[in-house]
Every structure is written in structure tokens, then in C-alpha cells.
């Protein structure tokens, strides 16, 4: 954000009600209520979507950092002849306000996002080369495949959970992801938790991530388990709200008809401002298509960045320096956009059904130019994140098609070719040989899934040759693989 980089910011007052307090549930947390300048700007940006961020900063400073007053002034400027700045800027502000009036500050609670909300991803809000900062739950739900609940847990429970996890994080190791043919280390650490020791043993022997099994699988801890039940209820309620906004309003494609049932969790730790995770999609192999993920943030607030997956333009045969090629590349960057969602302590972000197939996500490094990080009273410079997941029985490796190496395939969605976008493939865990659809790999950082031993960042840890196997993956409306349906039908007939 230019304003953050180029301007020295005055410490702004937090005496009025921060916007997120107005929209929070009754369980407030003193830490979250304080509201940094970044948060206040994010709030303003989510309401006045088309007002340039430097103008929002100016307006905030002109009103001594009081968010409410700034909002009123900006609203007034649209109904009177007084401009915020110049007339041309006022015009821009007006259209932003008009288009976002449905997200005014009167919404009483993040839990009360009504059922008439426009379905997600209604129109691209992102602008050339700019990051769009969204904060309010309603704006996030209306413009991304995510929803967010601020102040999710009772504050003491959130703190207990953080106290439970912090000692664990000391023995976490670097997460790994696939970058084209190689498995590389992410600059953050993580561990994997499942519901029982029996599940942990099964994970360690049967489940492959980027070609290897995990050595560090732990049994879920008592507070994490309690919180899992609350996450389960909240995520199911969020799914129900979201379904109502879709045409038909009954069930999402590839989703089982029953409730979402978390039974595993990756816990991530980001120690200090620089630890991050690059743009990626989460591995679908054991979750199935259109998975839902409940992601709880604790400790230091960090920025969650997302952008759309858009097949790259076909510039073959074009001179890379030609006007046409440059235009195509620019259009590609604009179409991906970049949206940033601040994730404060004790916020639950739900990544909904279409997220992993159509958007990439990341945790950005917090540069000192944008204010770095604010230490948390319990965790210091650490952010701890729990991603609750549902490992569906139908996607357990015993049912997964095997490649010619004899191991269960990985499930990927096609992202890089317009013609096959939206399809899925089962493919060899280790790409790299003739016939492998290398362009299926999801992101700069590929797909995050495996966890390895602590080593230097981005060290290559595996580049074995794969067999190149792949087959199209098909599912019924509930997301059950067709090959499993066929087997089940055979079994039923044999009985």
C-alpha cells in the first residue's frame, strides 16, 4: 500500500469504537479491540472501496484517528457539496460509497450476515497493481470465497489454546511444498494433529505428502479438541449461510449432504515478521474436491493474501516485448488481483468450498515499511494458526488410484489450461517424466501438504523420478470418486 510505504504515520487514537468492535460478537478481547492504523484503514477501505488509500489515510488523520468520525465525514461528503479532497476524488468516493452502502457500520454482528448477501466473487474489486484490503465480515463474504468471524472464542479460551500450543511450536519443523519438480521448505514451521493415536499411526504409515510419509503426527491436545467442536459448529453455520446465497440454495457441488466434520489439523507457526508461506493451494488428495477449511488465528496479527487462479495468457509466437504481449501480461496480473485480509488474534477464517480450486492463498511477510508486526502479550512475535480439516473416508489412501510406481496418486485440479480448467486429475506423486502434465501444478509454491525435517529454507529435499501416470478424476455430486461408486455398485451386486 503506497500510503504505508511513503508516509510516516502518526499514532492514531483508538478512543472511539473501532469498526470491528461494532461488528464483533459479545465475547470481546481487549487485545483485538485496540485497532492499529492498518486495521482502521482496512475498515475504511472495505467500506469506501473506491477511495484511494492515501485519501483514506488523510481523512483518518484529519479526524484524529477516529474511525466513526471519518466514516461520517466521508459519507457526508457524498451527500453535500463538500468534497473530501478534490471534486474528482469526491466523485470517485461517491461511487465507492454507493456501491458499498449495504456494508455500512450498522450491521450488528459478524454472525448476523444476512442470507440475502450477494454470492461470493460478484465482481472484481481489485485494481491494477494494488492490494485491496478488506476487513469487514460482510465485505469479505461478498467478495471472496471466505468468511470471517472476529473474536471467535471466549477470550480466556483463546488464550488457553495459545498457552497450550506455544510450547508445542518449539518442536515444529519446516512445512514443505512442491515447487514444480522439487519439494522445498517453507519459511515457517508446522505440525500435524489427528484425533487419536491410532489415526496418528495410520497417517505415519499410509498417507503420502509430496511422495513421503510424515514422521511428525501428533494426537490432538485437550483444548484444541474442545475448540474443534466449536469450530465445527461455526463452520457448519457459515456453510449453511453461504449455501443460501447460491442458486438452488440446497447443497454445493461435490459436497457431502451432511455436516462438515473436522478430524485433523495442521498447526502453523510464524515466528517473527519475516516467516511466511508463499502463494499455494492446499492439497486435495485426502480432503476431496471443494474442501472447506476452518482456520483459527492466534497471537500476532498477520496478513492473509489471496488471489484468483487465472490460466496464463497464450503468448506463444508473440515477441515478449511487443505491445500485445505486454498488454496480455498486464491483463493477466489484473485478473488475478490481490486481496489482503488481516487475521487478528482469535479470528476464525473459513475457506469455503471453491477456494482451493479457484484462488491461491498466502501469509505475507510483514515488512517494516508496512509497520512490521505488533507483539502479542502472550505469544510475543509468534502467530499460531490451526487449520481444522476433514479427511474424508472416501479419500483415504486405501481407495486412491495407484500410479505405476505402486503408490497412491495425488489429486490435483487443473489450473493452467483454459480448455480443461475445472477438471481434476489423479497423478503420480512425483512429476518429472514424459507424459506428466506439469502444468497442472497449482501455484508458485505448488500445493502445500507435506511436512519435513528442519533444514535451510527452500532446500531441495526430493526430486525422485516419477512414472508420469495420470488419469482424469471424476466425482458424483457429493464429491465421491466415480471409481469408488463403481466398486461399491459391484460389491452390492455380488452380495
Q: Which residues bind ligand AKG (CB under 6 A)?
A: 266, 268, 277, 282, 295, 304, 361, 363, 385, 387, 448
* Phi, psi of 394, deg, nearest 5: -60, -15
* In the complex, least distance from residue 163 CB atom to ligand AKG, rounded to whole angstroms: 19
The owner of cell 477456494 is 355
CB of 410 to Fe ion, least distance (A): 16
Residue 174 contacts which entry, ligand AKG, Fe ion, none (Cβ below 5-8 A, type-dependent): none
Q: Compute the distance between CA of residue 297 and CA of residue 332 in angstroms, rounded to an integer.
A: 31
DSSP per residue, 287-324: T-SS--EEEEEEES-EEEEEEE--PPP--TTS-TTSHH
Nearer to ligand AKG (CB atom), residue 135 or residue 304: 304
Q: Which cell numbers hold the place of 372?
A: 512490521
Residue whose CB is less far from ligand AKG, 96 or 450: 450
- Report how far residue 443's alpha carbon sits from residue 336's, in angstroms, rounded to the nearest whole number: 12
Nearer to ligand AKG, 13 or 274 (CB): 274
- How far apart (Å, rounded) are the C-alpha atoms in residues 56 and 58? 5
Is 447 a binder of Fe ion (CB under 5 A)? no
Return the residue of 32, 282, 357, 436 that touches Fe ion, per CB under 5 A: 282
CA 59 to chain centre: 30
d(CA 311, CA 359): 12
Pairing of strands 447-451, 277-282: parallel
C-beta closer to Fe ion: residue 58 or 282: 282
Q: Are 356 and 284 in contact (CB under 8 A)?
A: yes
Q: Which H or E element spans position 277? A: strand 277-282
Question: Which partner, Fe ion, ligand AKG, none, binds residue 70 by CB below 5 to 8 Å per kind?
Answer: none
CB of 79 to Fe ion, least distance (A): 43
The minimum distance between CB 287 and Fe ion, in angstroms, equals 11
The rounded distance, in Å, linking the Cα atoms of 96 and 77 is 12
Nearer to ligand AKG, 150 or 361 (CB): 361
Residue 143's binding partner out of Fe ion, ligand AKG, none, with CB under 5 to 8 Å set by partner kind: none
* Closest approach of Fe ion to the CB of residue 161, in Å: 20
**CA neighbor of 450 nearest in space, from 171, 143, 203, 234:** 203
Q: In this complex, which beta carbon is closest to ligand AKG, that of residue 59 or of residue 284?
A: 284
For the CB of residue 117, give the shortest distance to ligand AKG in the complex, in Å.
23
Q: Which stretch binds Fe ion (CB under 5 A): 57-65, 130-138, 403-411, 447-455?
A: 447-455
Determine the interface stretch with Fe ion among 188-196, 276-284, 376-384, 461-469 (rule: CB under 5 A).
Answer: 276-284
Q: Is 38 in the site for Fe ion (CB under 5 A)?
A: no
The verdict on 238 binding Fe ion (CB under 5 A) reads no
Nearest to ligand AKG of 287, 363 (CB atom): 363
The SS3 of residue 213 is strand
Element spanning 386, H or E: strand 382-389
Binding site for Fe ion (CB under 5 A): 282, 448
Amino acid at each position: 500500500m503506497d500510503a504505508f510505504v511513503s508516509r510516516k504515520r502518526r499514532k492514531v487514537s483508538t478512543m472511539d469504537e473501532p469498526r470491528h468492535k461494532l461488528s464483533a460478537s459479545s465475547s470481546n478481547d481487549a487485545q483485538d479491540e485496540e485497532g492499529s492504523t492498518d486495521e482502521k484503514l482496512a475498515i475504511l477501505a472495505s467500506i469506501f472501496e473506491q477511495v484511494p488509500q492515501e485519501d483514506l489515510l488523510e481523512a483518518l488523520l484529519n479526524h484524529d484517528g477516529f474511525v466513526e468520525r471519518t466514516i461520517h465525514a466521508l459519507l457526508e461528503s457524498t451527500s453535500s457539496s463538500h468534497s473530501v479532497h478534490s471534486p474528482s476524488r469526491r466523485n470517485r468516493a461517491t461511487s465507492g460509497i454507493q456501491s458499498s452502502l449495504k456494508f455500512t457500520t450498522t450491521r450488528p454482528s459478524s454472525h448476523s450476515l444476512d442470507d440475502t448477501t450477494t454470492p461470493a466473487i460478484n465482481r472484481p474489486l481489485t485494481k491494477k497493481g494494488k492490494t485491496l484490503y478488506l476487513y469487514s465480515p460482510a465485505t469479505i463474504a461478498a467478495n471472496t470465497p471466505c468468511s470471517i468471524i472476529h473474536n471467535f472464542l471466549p477470550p480466556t479460551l483463546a488464550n488457553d489454546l495459545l498457552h497450550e500450543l506455544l510450547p508445542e511450536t518449539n518442536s515444529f519443523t519446516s512445512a514443505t511444498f512442491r515447487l514444480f519438480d522439487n519439494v522445498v521448505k517453507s519459511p515457517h514451521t508446522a505440525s500435524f494433529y489427528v484425533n487419536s493415536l491410532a489415526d496418528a499411526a495410520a497417517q505415519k504409515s499410509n498417507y503420502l505428502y509430496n511422495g513421503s510419509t510424515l514422521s511428525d503426527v501428533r494426537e490432538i491436545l485437550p483444548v484444541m479438541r474442545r475448540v474443534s467442536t466449536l469450530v465445527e459448529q461455526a463452520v457448519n453455520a457459515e456453510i449453511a449461510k453461504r449455501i443460501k446465497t447460491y442458486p438452488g440454495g440446497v447443497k454445493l457441488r461435490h459436497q457431502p449432504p451432511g455436516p462438515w466434520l473436522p478430524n485433523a489439523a495442521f498447526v502453523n507457526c510464524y515466528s517473527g515478521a519475516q516467516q511466511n508461506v508463499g502463494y499455494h493451494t492446499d492439497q486435495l488428495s485426502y480432503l476431496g474436491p471443494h474442501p472447506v477449511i476452518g482456520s483459527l488465528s492466534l497471537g500476532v496479527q498477520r496478513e492473509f493474501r489471496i488471489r484468483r487462479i487465472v490460466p496464463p495468457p497464450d503468448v506463444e509466437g508473440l515477441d515478449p516485448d511487443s505491445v500485445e504481449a505486454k498488454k496480455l501480461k498486464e491483463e493477466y496480473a489484473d485478473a488475478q488481483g490481490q486481496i489482503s485480509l488481516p487475521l487478528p488474534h482469535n479470528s476464525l477464517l473459513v475457506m469455503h468450498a471453491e477456494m482451493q480450486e479457484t484462488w491461491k492463498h498466502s501469509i505475507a511477510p510483514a515488512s517494516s515499511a508496512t509497520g512490521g508486526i505488533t507483539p502479542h502479550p502472550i505469544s510475543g512475535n509468534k502467530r499460531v494458526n490451526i487449520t481444522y480439516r476433514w479427511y474424508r473416508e472416501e479419500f483415504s489412501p486405501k481407495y486412491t488410484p495407484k500410479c505405476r510406481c505402486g503408490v497412491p496418486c495425488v489429486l490435483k485440479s487443473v489450473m493452467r489450461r483454459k480448455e480443461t480448467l475445472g477438471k481434476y486429475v489423479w497423478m503420480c506423486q512425483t512429476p518429472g517424466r514424459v507424459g506428466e502434465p506439469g502444468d497442472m501444478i497449482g501455484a508458485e509454491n505448488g500445493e502445500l501438504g507435506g511436512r519435513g525435517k528442519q533444514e535451510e529454507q527452500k532446500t531441495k529435499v526430493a526430486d525422485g523420478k516419477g512414472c508420469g501416470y495420470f488419469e482424469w478424476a471424476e466425482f458424483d455430486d457429493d464429491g465421491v470418486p466415480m471409481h469408488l461408486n463403481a466398486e461399491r455398485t459391484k460389491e452390492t451386486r455380488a452380495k
